[in-house]
């Protein structure tokens, strides 16, 4: 197994690298490779890593070192990256069982209820799906 022995942080960074690669391939296929989109994506990934550091510090201060916040943040980040990879690869024609995406989506939604306003994440997700469907139709 390729990820055997990786920590959760190492696994997340691996997923981020796969997502960037899949996103670039999708943009190339769409003929819409833009440096602004790449920059924004990298900034978001950097923000995710900073949020993980914050969750570690909060666990030290609030939870006596028990990894409660860190675990929630890590699961949410891994779900986000996994969903993004599936979305990008699906656009490229790679088939995925709907059950995988549904399960990851459910888990992400449960964690997002405490982290971000649900309406904001739903709107963004719906816009991404809608634009992906429109691109496929063209």
Show the beta-strand stretches assigned E in 5-121.
Answer: none
Domain ranges across the chain: 8-118
- Whole-number mean pLDDT of the chain? 81
Distances (CA, A) of 21 to 24, 26, 38, 75, 108: 5, 9, 11, 21, 22
At 67, the pLDDT band (50, 70, 90 cuts) reads confident
Is pLDDT at 138 greater than 80 in this prediction? no
Q: Choose between 98 and 27: higher pLDDT.
A: 27
């Amino acid at each position: 197994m390729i990820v055997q022995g990786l920590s959760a942080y190492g696994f997340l960074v691996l997923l981020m690298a796969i997502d960037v690669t899949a996103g670039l391939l999708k943009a190339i296929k769409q003929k819409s490779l833009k440096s602004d989109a790449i920059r924004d994506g990298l900034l978001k990934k950097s923000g995710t890593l900073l949020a993980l550091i914050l969750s570690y510090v909060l666990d030290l201060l609030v939870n006596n070192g028990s990894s409660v916040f860190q675990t929630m943040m890590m699961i949410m980040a891994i779900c986000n990256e996994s969903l993004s990879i599936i979305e990008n690869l699906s656009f490229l024609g790679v088939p995925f069982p709907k059950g995988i995406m549904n399960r990851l989506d459910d888990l992400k939604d449960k964690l997002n209820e405490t982290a971000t306003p649900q309406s904001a994440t739903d709107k963004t997700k719906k816009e991404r799906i809608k634009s992906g469907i429109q691109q496929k139709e063209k």
